[in-house]
Amino acid sequence: MSSLTINVDAVAALRGLCGFAEPDPVQAAVLAELAGADGIAIQISPQRQFIRDRDLYLLKGVVKTRLTLEMPPSEQFVTKALEVKPWMVTFASDQQGGDAALLPVDLTNTEIDYRDLTDRLTAVGVLVGFFVDPQSEQVKQVARFGGTTILLNCLGYTNARTLEAAQQELDRIDATAAAAAKAGLAVNCGRGLTYRNLSPIVELGLADEFVVGYAVAARALLVGYERAVIEMLRLIDKPVPTQ
């Protein structure tokens, strides 16, 4: 059975629109867990555009499930992760000077010593994953660098304009997920997933976890945060807590 991790960055982005203290991504994380979410994820980047240091430390203290940090492979953030000790760090690529979401890393063309970073994090009990495009060659590199998890970028599928293009992207996700599972890696899927496009990936039956953020936050504006999480849990056929 797949699990569901809720990314609360969209809540932090809404907070930042007017510079107020609300809505609080930490409160959203608590509500998500109460609704049955299996984990909470946030992105941290040099710009501190949405998630602040205060959020990180509070989330570490209140999250009862699993806290995942998506972050660039810089010494600044590795040091922060070694201090906070989240459940998992997922390495991604920062958009220099931008405030958009982190990008996938290309592990086939990198000068970064990811093996060293992975070893340092796993030495203090932190799991390591990599956010990559759905390509089989990336799977080999994740295993080579000591990662336990591969987070597949689903934007190619979610942004597809035709059924043919969407199916081609689903086939890429399917093949990469199968290769990752064969290599002993946990398979996570994220980016652009909504209540309308999630089911075809669920039906592939290869995802261990789905990471969803914006869709839940947008739905929560209409129905409330807990109900929005529960509706997403039902889409992945996961039992929800009794109220």
CA distances from 208 to 3, 88, 189 (A): 6, 15, 8
- Classify the C-alpha dihedral 19-21-26-29 as positive or negative: negative
The tens place of each residue's pLDDT in the chain, 243 residues long, gives 799 999 999 999 999 887 788 899 999 999 999 999 999 999 998 766 688 889 999 999 999 999 999 999 999 999 999 999 999 999 999 865 555 678 999 999 889 999 999 999 999 999 999 999 999 999 999 999 999 999 999 999 999 999 999 999 999 999 999 999 999 999 999 999 999 999 999 999 999 999 999 999 999 999 999 999 999 999 998 777 765
Number of folded domains that form the chain = 1
On whether residue 166 sits in a domain, the answer given is yes
On whether residue 241 sits in a domain, the answer given is no
On whether residue 95 sits in a domain, the answer given is yes
Which residue segment(s) compose the domain that 205 sits in?
3-235
Answer yes or no: are the C-beta atoms of 190 and 157 closer than 8 Å: no
Q: Is the pTM of this model over 0.85?
A: yes
On whether residue 170 sits in a domain, the answer given is yes
Residue 64 burial by CB count (10 A; 0-12/13-18/19+): exposed, middle or buried? Answer: exposed
On whether residue 191 sits in a domain, the answer given is yes
On whether residue 242 sits in a domain, the answer given is no
The rounded distance, in Å, linking the Cα atoms of 15 and 151 is 27
What's 111's domain CATH number?
A: 3.20.20.70
